[in-house]
Amino acid sequence: MRLAALSLLVADYDAAIAFFCDGLGFSLTEDIPQGAKRWVTVSPAGQNLRLVLARADTSAQRAAIGQQAGGRVWLFLHTDDFARDSAKITAAGGVFEEAPRYEVYGTVAVWRDPFGNRWDLIQPKP
């Protein structure tokens, strides 16, 4: 077995595609109409793990946008160039909650995507 995808609640498919693909450089791996819904997946370049961009339809789902982990960081992006990718995230509409920290495992900072999800951007130590 392998983990293939994670579902990420979003308010709008196209806004999420624009953020991840146009802003961060992810690939749009699937966009399949399914009646009132779409099956939309994106993935970082060269990765097999996909984010399923799931449009929130009910009031409970809309309330959970950005709160899928109860306010905790739950998504982690690794980079080989922290400065380059933090600038890319900011330009795309992400907001950093802190300055970079230097931990034993590498450089890290918490940021929020435009949907309120908390992420870590991590440049691991070599």
Choose the final residue of a domain: 44, 65, 86. 65
Last residue of a domain, one of 45, 65, 85: 65
Span 31-64, pLDDT tens digits: 999 999 999 999 998 889 999 999 999 999 999 9
Domain count for the chain, please give it.
2
Angle ∠(63,30,121) on CA atoms, nearest 5: 60
Same domain, residue pair 126 and 94: yes
Q: What is the structure's pLDDT at 46?
A: 86
Q: Which domain holds residue 44?
A: 1-65
**pTM greater than 0.75 (yes/no):** yes
Q: Using 50 as the pLDDT threshold, list the residues of the chain that sit under it.
A: none
12 with 32, same domain: the answer is yes
Spatial neighbors of 50 by CB under 8 A, at least 6 apart, are 4, 5, 6, 29, 30, 41, 42, 43
**Contact call for residues 22 and 14 (beta carbons, < 8 A):** no
Identify the CATH number of the domain in which residue 24 sits.
Answer: 3.10.180.10
